[in-house]
Structure 1
Amino acid sequence: MVYPWLACFRRLSDRVLFNGNETDMSALAEKNAIWFVYDGECPLCKSAALALRIKKQYGTHNLLNAREHLDHQLIIDINRHGFDLDEGMVIFDGNDFYHGKDALSFMAKFGDSKGLFNLLNKAVFGSETMAKMIYPWIRGVRNLLLKKKNIGRIDNLNLKSEPIFKAVFGDSWDKLPPVMHKHYMNRPYTDDINIVEGTLDVMSAGPIKLLAPIFWLMGGVPPHNENNVPVTVSFESNKNTKEFRFNRTFNFKECKPYHFQSRMVQTSANEMIEIMRFGFGWRMSFHWEDDSVKLKHKGYVLSLFGHFIPLPLTMLMGKGNAEEKAVDNNTFDMQVEITHPWWGKIYEYKGRFVVKDKR
């Protein structure tokens, strides 16, 4: 059902879709019917599904275990709207979808007050702010429980069939040259590994040099000066996440091999955050411009319990930008630089890489 106070507006996002006329589920759109789609292998999700009681005036309560009914018409429509069941449960009220934290907020608003679970849910998720803060933790617990049980993802959207970066580049993906497709071929929820090798000229100056001990400690970009440094980069997927992981090895002449590891997570259409040691992150957007892949600075963040907290460090650390350009079907040039508003270019590494191996 569409409640009067909801019917007057429509919001399109990865969370909620209003206007049931767009759904093609006349058999499911019964009057006074609430559908709860959950992960039957997740103890937390299953407990919530079984404990929830909807107030009688809002309709009957129907449960659907997504793992057992992936061919169900409701799951098909959930897929069509792009709701990832590995990111959260879905509630369908006959017209509207509620995903993740919005599903829990729906439960808090329209759930019965009887029972400990329903009372706790109302207390925690009755506030949109609290729901936004706490939900990532709940999702993290869910993922940990499944990992402990050695249970795989639902993957209702079949995400592991496509490269992670296809969604990041969007319509530009098909415009990328072959070497960039090889470079960005890793799929989520797999054990894909893609290896490139090359040499880099590394330059650091200004505050990067002054703060070198901190950079070494954080395991970030190496605060060093040297040309023609042999570098191997392993791009790695993970069976349990959608993350894109970097494992870089810099073989400096007079230093032991330096390992720079990080991971990338997509936060919106073309934006990703690269997370380094201690949760420090660089937010960037990806673009295909002037026959090059360009990474543009969007700020710094701290990754904490599933939240990305903005850090006002650009004036201190400068802006990071990067560019990659195809040379041939297996080779590309790349450049990363950090530019400070006062000192100008304070860091750079640039060079050429060859795609060596993928599996």
Structure 2
Amino acid sequence: MNAYLLPKTVGDAWQTVPPVIQRHYAVQEGQGSSLVGVMTIAYPHFMLPLIGLISCFGGLVFRRGSNVHTRVEKTADTEGVLHWHRTLRFPDGKTAHFRSQMTYQTEHELIETIRYGFGIRLRAEAEDGRLVYRSQGHCWQGAGLRITLPDWLLLGTATISEQALSADSFRLDFTIRHPWWGETYSYRGDFRYAKTEVESKGVEPLPMA
């Protein structure tokens, strides 16, 4: 098994991804990494029912907000699966959690799964010094079956971009856009690597300097 999931998925073009982003995914079996940052989460009011339903399956955070302090922790298991745990603290002190797992499928494609076998197919590529994911449909896996739904049946097509800002920080932009409804969900923010044990394990991440 390749030590790292994303180099295997992206292929030779991985070498064009900035080191600060490569490091983000350099998680071997039994290891972990931690990032801290501040995000803004937005979606239109008319999307509340659908986003609320999706959140029941562990997908997306069902709350808008700005200045949302966020910690992202990743670990890798013996099967090469990358496990994500995102902890978001809102200005009023309330927290939200978002967990998922990334699994290799073929070159340039992986699946990110949430609860109950639901997930999203993602195409991962290096583009102009950025790491970019684009959704290729949603899916449900169970009992040896896989059912795929086109993006337009839900919120639309997701695009995730990670762009280097410095040697130890990068900008994340996650946007879902529907062909009829426009932008239906987004979260954006700047992240850096946790430098101290307090930042790595504490409840509240520190903002970008």
What band does the TM-score fall into relative to the shorter chain?
0.7 to 0.9
Structure showing greater Rg: 1
The one-letter amino acid paired with 1:169 is: V
Contact (CA 8 Å) 1:273, 1:282: kept in 2 or not?
A: yes
Query: Aligned-residue CA RMSD in angstroms?
Result: 1.8
Compute the displacement of 1:356 (Å): 1.8
Distance 1:312 1:206, change over 3 A: farther
Residues 45-96 of structure 1, C-alpha deviations (whole Å, 9 max, x = no match)? xxxxxxxxxxxxxxxxxxxxxxxxxxxxxxxxxxxxxxxxxxxxxxxxxxxx
Compute the displacement of 1:275 (Å): 0.3
Q: 1:184 aligned to 2:25? A: yes
What's 2:170 paired with?
332
Residues 166-219 of structure 1, C-alpha deviations (whole Å, 9 max, x = no match)? 1111111222211112101012xx111011000101001155312243133222
Q: Which moved more, 1:308-317 or 1:191-200?
A: 308-317
Secondary structure (helix, strand or coil) at the match of 2:194 reads: strand
Contact (CA 8 Å) 1:275, 1:303: kept in 2 or not?
A: no
Distance 1:165 1:288, change over 3 A: same
The one-letter amino acid paired with 2:7 is: K
Listed as ranges, the matches of 1:121-132 within 5 Å are none
Listed as ranges, the matches of 1:304-319 within 5 Å are 304-305=142-143, 307-319=145-157
- Among 88, 92, 98, the alignment partner of 1:254 is 92
* Structure 2 unaligned residues grouped into runs of 5+: 201-209
What's 1:171 paired with?
12
Compute the displacement of 1:313 (Å): 4.8
Contact (CA 8 Å) 2:155, 2:184: kept in 1 or not?
A: no
What's 1:221 paired with?
60
Higher relative contact order (CA 8 A, sep 6+): 2
* Structure 1 unaligned residues grouped into runs of 5+: 1-158
Compute the displacement of 1:291 (Å): 1.5
Q: 1:200 aligned to 2:39? A: yes
Contact (CA 8 Å) 2:37, 2:191: kept in 1 or not?
A: yes
Distance 1:305 1:236, change over 3 A: farther
Secondary structure (helix, strand or coil) at the match of 2:154 reads: helix
Inter-partner Cα distance in structure 1 for 2:54 and 2:139: 16
Q: How high is the TM-score relative to the length of structure 2? A: 0.87
Secondary structure (helix, strand or coil) at the match of 2:34 reads: strand
Segments ≥4 residues shifted beyond 6 Å: none
Compute the displacement of 1:236 (Å): 1.0
Distance 1:304 1:163, change over 3 A: same
Distance 1:329 1:315, change over 3 A: same
Contact (CA 8 Å) 1:315, 1:341: kept in 2 or not?
A: no
Contact (CA 8 Å) 1:204, 1:223: kept in 2 or not?
A: no
Listed as ranges, the matches of 1:1-359 within 5 Å are 159=1, 162-187=3-28, 190-239=29-78, 241-254=79-92, 256-305=94-143, 307-356=145-194
The one-letter amino acid paired with 2:24 is: H
Q: How high is the TM-score relative to the length of structure 1? A: 0.52
Q: Which moved more, 1:230-239 or 1:314-323?
A: 314-323
Secondary structure (helix, strand or coil) at the match of 2:59 reads: coil
**Bigger share in strand:** 2
Inter-partner Cα distance in structure 2 for 1:216 and 1:180: 27
Percent identity over paired residues: 27
Contact (CA 8 Å) 2:72, 2:84: kept in 1 or not?
A: yes
Distance 1:277 1:193, change over 3 A: same
Contact (CA 8 Å) 1:245, 1:263: kept in 2 or not?
A: yes
Q: Which moved more, 1:207-216 or 1:249-258?
A: 207-216
- For these two proteins, the number of residue pairs brought into alignment is 196
Inter-partner Cα distance in structure 1 for 2:154 and 2:73: 30
Compute the displacement of 1:301 (Å): 0.5
Secondary structure (helix, strand or coil) at the match of 1:224 reads: coil
What's 1:50 paired with?
none
Inter-partner Cα distance in structure 2 for 1:252 and 1:349: 13
Distance 1:215 1:207, change over 3 A: farther
**Bigger share in helix:** 1
Compute the displacement of 1:255 (Å): 6.2
